[in-house]
Amino acid sequence: MRRDIVHVGAGNLTYEIREIVVVGRDLANLGVEMTWENIGDPVQKGEAPPGWIREIVHDLLDEPNSWAYCDTAGVPETREFLAARVNQRDGGVRITAADILFFNGLGDAVSKVYGQLRREARVLGPSPAYSTHSSAESASSGYKHLTYDLDPHNGWMPDLDDIRMKVKYNDSIAGILLLTPDNPTGAVYPRALLEEIAEIARQHDCFIITDEIYAHIVFDGSHLHASEWVGDVPAIAMRGISKEYPWPGSRCGWIEVLNRDRDENFSRYCASLLAAKRLEVSSTTLPQMSIPRVMGDSRYLPHLLRREQLFDRRADEAVAAFADCDSVVANKPGGAFYFTVMLKDGVLNDRQTLAIENRAVRERIEKMVAGVAPDKRFVYYLMGATGIVVVPLTGFQSDHHGFRITLLESDDAKRAWILRTLRESIDTYVAS
Ligand SMILES: Cc1ncc(COP(=O)(O)O)c(C=O)c1O
């Protein structure tokens, strides 16, 4: 090309969760039976959305409107419904339907939210990071994503001093990102901690992005929303139905803008999000139309509760599988459906292996592990030896080593096998 046509941030677009699939498919072609523990899709892992939710969706198919485009910002009645739900919360920030903007899944919202930011305005996010956010921020700024630490020795809670110092001494930081419940750690932040983060943002005139896609999968049943803890700080809360109906294929997620009018610059930025969206119409009409019917149904809350109890039990099983394992830190998640196993510092080296019987697979793995991060090396051996595909923790922009699995396997015997095999593999690998 006579001009370099590659965006300055293109190299920053990485997504280990799916990149590992390419390796897994390769191994499958060599005859390994794979167990996919990398993607957070409950439906793919065997969970059928409840019959009554599917009936609502069926009925909507008979309404011609559900086949049409809808307003750029989304279906007005649904936005009214969602705004009313925010406003029902005691003492929280009030919003209107105009503060709600639908996207083609939160993945799309994330890319637009960072894509519309001025390049020099950075958003500080957690490490371990969820790649959709960290890659989008990094790609739009053209620099490595700036992060604060989540502390594995404190239940993966954010290190508030780290946030405070970074925000104070780096004035390019305009926003603070957090995810609660978090992906990949499953940590749920207590209200007091969230209020402290909001206070840091307020003191330094920053805004907050809070990804709350798992807000209704919290094991103690508390469904805290940003509107209840941000106070007067401008914020964007992100929500969706992918994980809670669950309906990831609906591509239906939205943002709620809080305290838009508290800051003129934030308000103009939010207007630019809508303007950018106007370049296309909204088309997830049917899933959007389903939201008031599903979330307004008396069966919805019991549905959420049942799932919370289910994942809570599975989280207990996962923690039990790693009990007394000196090589790892395995914190019980408080929500979502992920489980992160951290391998302690110094446990991994580049000589450890797992036995792989199939020669072609062994040779492929031995070639692949050259020069990779120590946890990725373990993940590759694990894949070759057992077929289990997990995501290395360093793939989440983390200095800690380890891996993330899901709690989604719905076959009880298979889930027990996965946990047992992971534990045995760690023990064998570390001792090898
Ligand atoms: C924390 C988080 N945010 C956003 C998304 C994207 O969700 P959606 O299916 O709405 O694009 C995911 C998907 O796994 C996620 O884990």
Q: What is the pLDDT of residues 295-352, one digit of tens each?
A: 999 999 999 999 999 999 999 999 999 999 999 999 999 999 999 999 999 999 999 9
Residue 121 CA to ligand 1 center (angstroms) comes to 23
Q: Name the DSSP letter for residue 344.
A: P
Contacts of 100 (CB under 8 A, 6+ apart): 73, 74, 79, 82, 83, 254, 255, 256, 257
Q: What is the pLDDT of residue 313?
A: 98
The CA distance from 357 to 359, in Å, is 6
Please check the confidence at residue 122 and state whether its pLDDT lies above 90: yes
The answer, yes or no, to whether any atom of ligand 1 lies below 6 A from the CB of 130, is yes
Instruction: Give residue 352 CA to ligand 1 midpoint distance, Å.
Output: 34
158 near 188, Cβ under 8 Å? Answer: no
For the four alpha carbons of 56, 57, 61 and 67, in that order, the dihedral sign comes to positive
Residues 6+ apart with CB under 8 A from 58: none
Residue with tokens 């790609």: 139
pTM value? 0.95
Contact yes or no for 429/378 (Cβ under 8 A): yes
pLDDT band per the 50, 70, 90 thresholds, residue 91: confident
What pLDDT is stored for residue 1 in this prediction?
82
132 pLDDT exceeds 90? yes
How many A from CA of 215 to the centre of ligand 1?
A: 12
Q: Report the share of the chain in percent with pLDDT over 70.
A: 97
Question: Token digits for 350?
Answer: 């580049």
| Ligand 1 and 106: CB distance under 6 A | yes
CB-ligand 1 contact for 240 (6 Å cutoff): yes
Residue type for 378, please? F
Lowest mean pLDDT among 165-179, 270-284, 317-331, 395-409: 270-284
